């Protein structure tokens, strides 16, 4: 065997080894993604991200508002516009007359609203960017969330979990005001993003 | 003699002593030449070459990479690979790039799409600034699936945006923490000023360095103990330009960060522009990695690997001197 052949053989071996190693690594990543324990470790970073973002974002920071000219010509729905459930079809048929939304969580007065009741609240129109991997600007009108919030009133320290959490004291001072939740009586989305 | 070596390695690494004698015993050519040791120690103390046992056969061993640099380097290998591959997963969720704040689907800078031809066949079409390329098999359509980047290039291999994001943001933290650790150490240990920052002479001789690289002529002797100017520019560029850029453009894609620091979007020209720059910075990393790895192989794979694993690098002495 001359040196050229040996070099070729070595190259072949290296290629094979590298190929096999990357396949094993890829399969390893997929196995980890499907395991029960690994995604929960990965999602720890989301908590860290949330805390870090809360710590550096001023409490009164708001999304940038755009002008009429910035509105996207095409504004595709993210995911889908019809979850395809019987319940949803029923709401459509009734023109959402029996649809309600419940506001609860860290609030003084958990309250539910019908669509008609929401429409009676002071309304505002805003043009903001809607972000996923895509981004588009769209004008949206409806009850200002501040009128809903001022009715239910935040009570940031209502949850016992807040006192016993391992979060350092300095991070707790401004209790997280976003821990209130909105719960529509029907899920308008089957899932956030199509997965296949 | 042994104490001299220990003194030399001690500047960079706490447990160097035992390692040196082991290496020295293992390989015959490294017979120590006593007279050359003392002056080397004074000249090179604290820089990338910390100790220089010189052999009679014309090779010399130098302590090139200190332990924190080596740890940081090897952590970056899985971190970057995972970030690139999970990033391509996220890209696949909407495989087009735009300039400005919005993604107007009719005017992408780059898009990678599966297209069905008239005879029903699927082709992967990559469009760059209006120019179309058939990239079937790799981009747009591969392995019978409509996807921008192929299964072997993404984490997870199947199309799962949510899981791709989790991988990406976890390892983004890991990369940033490692990067801050590296930067702090490199500044305090003066690795940046001594080894990485190009000198005026380096920059004046850049033409010669380019020529040498084109004909694959690699430095020997004293020249091989330090990074050459193109190497310095590549490292400085990746560490202090591309890496901060990719972190900042990544942050600019977060709606919360945009409300906190609206100027981020202003400097990058909009959120979709930030996504485009993030993508370009990613492929700058890919380009750097390809050139870096090929240079590692071309300039003595075993020697380079040993220097990044153990710290010790062997240099051939110039024959003409």
- CA atoms of B221 and B58, how far apart (whole Å): 9
| A44 and chain B in contact, CB less than 8 A | yes
- How much is the pLDDT for B123? 94
Local confidence band at B56 (pLDDT 50, 70, 90 cut-offs): low
Q: Of B88, B90, B163, which to mutate for an interface test with A (greatest number of A Cβ within 10 Å)?
A: B163
- CA atoms of B219 and B209, how far apart (whole Å): 9
Q: Could you tell me what percentage of chain B is helix, strand and coil, using 3-state DSSP and rounding each to the nearest 5?
A: 60, 10, 30
| B157 and chain A in contact, CB less than 8 A | yes
- How much is the pLDDT for B304? 93
Cβ pair A45:B169 closer than 8 A: yes
Per the DSSP assignment, residues forming a β-bridge with B147 are: B140
- CA atoms of B166 and B87, how far apart (whole Å): 10
Those residues whose C-beta lies under 8 Å from the C-beta of residue B138, and which sit 6 or more positions away, are B124, B150
Confirm if B209 and B229 have CB atoms less than 8 A apart: yes
For residue B222, give Cα distances in angstroms to A184, B42, B44, B107, B196: 72, 15, 11, 54, 16
Confirm if B141 and B45 have CB atoms less than 8 A apart: no
Task: Enumerate the residues of chain A whose CB falls inside 8 A of the CB of residue B172.
Answer: 45
Segment B92-129, tens digit of pLDDT: 999 999 998 888 877 899 999 999 999 989 999 999 99
Task: Enumerate the residues of chain B whose CB falls inside 8 A of the CB of residue A62.
Answer: 259
- CA atoms of A190 and A194, how far apart (whole Å): 9
Residue B251: its H or E element: helix B243-252
Cα of A29 to nearest chain B Cα, Å: 7
Mean pLDDT of B164-180: 96
* Full pLDDT tens readout for chain A, 196 residues: 566 777 777 777 777 777 777 777 777 888 888 888 898 899 899 889 999 998 999 888 888 888 888 888 877 776 677 888 888 889 889 988 888 888 877 778 888 888 888 888 888 888 888 887 787 788 777 777 777 878 877 766 554 444 434 444 334 334 443 444 555 444 333 333 333 3
Q: SS3 string of A125-159?
A: EEEEEEECCCEEEEEEEEECHHHHHHHHCECCCCC
- Give the pairing of strands B122-128 and B131-134: antiparallel
Q: Give the residue, A163 or B241, on which the prediction is more confident.
A: B241
What is the end-to-end Cα distance of chain A in Å, rounded? 51
């Amino acid at each position: 065997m001359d040196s050229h052949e040996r070099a070729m053989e070595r190259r072949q071996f290296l290629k094979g080894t590298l190929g096999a190693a990357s396949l094993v690594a890829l399969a390893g990543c997929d196995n980890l993604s499907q395991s029960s324990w690994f995604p929960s470790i990965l999602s720890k970073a989301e908590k860290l991200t949330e805390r870090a973002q809360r710590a550096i974002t001023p409490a009164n920071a708001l999304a940038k508002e755009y002008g009429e000219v910035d509105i996207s010509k095409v504004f595709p729905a993210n995911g889908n516009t019809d979850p395809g459930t019987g319940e949803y079809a029923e709401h459509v048929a009734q023109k959402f007359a029996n649809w309600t939304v419940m506001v609860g969580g860290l609030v003084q007065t958990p309250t539910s609203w019908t669509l008609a009741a929401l429409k009676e609240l002071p309304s505002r129109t805003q043009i903001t960017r809607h972000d996923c991997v895509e981004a588009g600007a769209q004008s949206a009108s409806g009850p200002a969330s501040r009128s809903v919030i001022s009715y239910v009133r935040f009570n940031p320290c209502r949850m016992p979990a807040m006192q016993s959490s391992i979060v350092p004291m300095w991070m707790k001072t401004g209790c997280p005001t976003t821990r209130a939740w909105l719960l529509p009586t029907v899920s308008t989305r089957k899932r956030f993003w199509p997965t296949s | 003699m042994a104490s001299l070596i220990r003194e030399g390695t001690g500047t960079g690494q706490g447990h160097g002593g035992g390692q040196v004698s082991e290496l020295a015993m293992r390989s015959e050519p490294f017979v120590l030449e006593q007279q050359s040791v003392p002056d080397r120690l004074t000249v090179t103390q604290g820089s990338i070459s910390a100790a220089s046992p010189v052999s009679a056969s014309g090779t010399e061993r130098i302590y090139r990479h200190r332990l924190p640099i080596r740890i940081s380097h090897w952590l970056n290998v899985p971190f970057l690979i995972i970030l690139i591959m999970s990033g391509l997963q996220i890209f696949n969720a909407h495989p087009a790039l735009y300039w400005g704040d919005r993604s107007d689907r009719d005017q992408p800078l780059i898009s990678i799409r599966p297209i069905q031809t008239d005879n029903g066949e699927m082709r992967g079409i990559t469009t760059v600034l209006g120019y179309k390329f058939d990239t079937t098999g790799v981009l747009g359509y591969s392995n019978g699936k409509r996807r921008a980047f192929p299964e072997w290039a993404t984490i997870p291999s199947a199309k799962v945006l949510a899981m791709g994001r989790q991988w990406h943001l976890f390892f983004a933290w890991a990369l940033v923490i490692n990067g801050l650790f590296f930067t702090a150490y490199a500044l305090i240990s003066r690795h940046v000023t001594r080894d990485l920052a190009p000198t005026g002479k380096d920059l004046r001789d850049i033409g010669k360095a380019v020529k040498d690289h084109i004909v694959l002529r690699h430095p020997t002797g004293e020249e091989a103990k330090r990074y050459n100017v193109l190497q310095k520019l590549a490292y400085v560029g990746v560490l202090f330009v591309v890496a901060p850029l990719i972190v900042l453009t990544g942050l600019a894609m977060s709606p919360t960060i945009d409300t906190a620091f609206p100027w981020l979007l202003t400097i990058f020209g909009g959120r979709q522009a930030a996504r485009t720059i993030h993508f370009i910075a990613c492929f700058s990393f890919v380009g750097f990695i390809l050139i870096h790895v090929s240079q590692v192989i071309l300039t003595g794979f075993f020697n380079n690997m040993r220097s990044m694993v153990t710290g010790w690098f062997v240099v051939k002495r110039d024959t003409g001197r």
